[in-house]
Amino acid sequence: MVWNGATVEQGAELTPTKVVERPAMTWEGTPDDLFTIVYSDPDAPSTTDRKFGEWLHWLVVNVPGCDVGGGDELAAYFGSAPGDGSGKHRYSILLYKQSGRVDPDAVGSPFPISGTSGFEPRRSFKSKEFASKNGLTPVDGVGFLAAYDDMVPALARKLKGEE
């Protein structure tokens, strides 16, 4: 996967500053194939207290082929933002192939989640349950680590609608 011009290797460490923008992604697929992207953090709020994990950073369904912009964004992109002193969080971006179209209106609460939704609707997401419920089959993914940096406070203010 390429993110801001750099190839992301499994287990790499990426700062929140490096992943502030959503990734450019490509994979094998035809325009008739539909995919789902899930980006999440199981270590929220910290690596020693995971009570809010899996924290959802991005969810897009009905991606035709590799056209992410042609999909239905159910949770707006929010880059990695581990709290100060919370350790190196594990992050994953998973790609699922859909067995059919996912009806965004039938997915239910808390979707859609905006870029200024605050923290609450992103907490305790269950990607395995979401995949099972919506007929998704995992086909690719990458995991990386991130720790707090100076970008995190600005990201938190934006998520709370303060910027």
pLDDT for res 4: 63
Question: Could you tell me how far CA 108 lies from the centroid of its own chain?
Answer: 18
Nearest to 100 by CA among 135, 128, 133, 68: 135
pLDDT tens string, the chain, 163 residues long: the values are 667 666 788 999 999 998 999 888 888 888 899 999 999 999 999 999 999 989 999 999 999 999 999 999 999 999 999 999 999 999 999 999 999 999 999 998 899 999 999 999 999 999 999 999 999 999 999 999 999 999 999 999 999 888 7
What pLDDT is recorded for position 24? 84
Distance (Å, rounded) from C-alpha 23 to C-alpha 39? 10
Range of the domain at 70: 2-159
- Residue 2 has a pLDDT of 65
Q: State residue 89's pLDDT score.
A: 96
Could you tell me the pTM of the whole model?
A: 0.94
Structure confidence at residue 128 (pLDDT) = 95
Hey, what are 146's tokens? Answer: 């991130």
Count of structural domains within the chain: 1
Structure tokens at 27: 């994979």
* CATH assignment at residue 130: 3.90.280.10
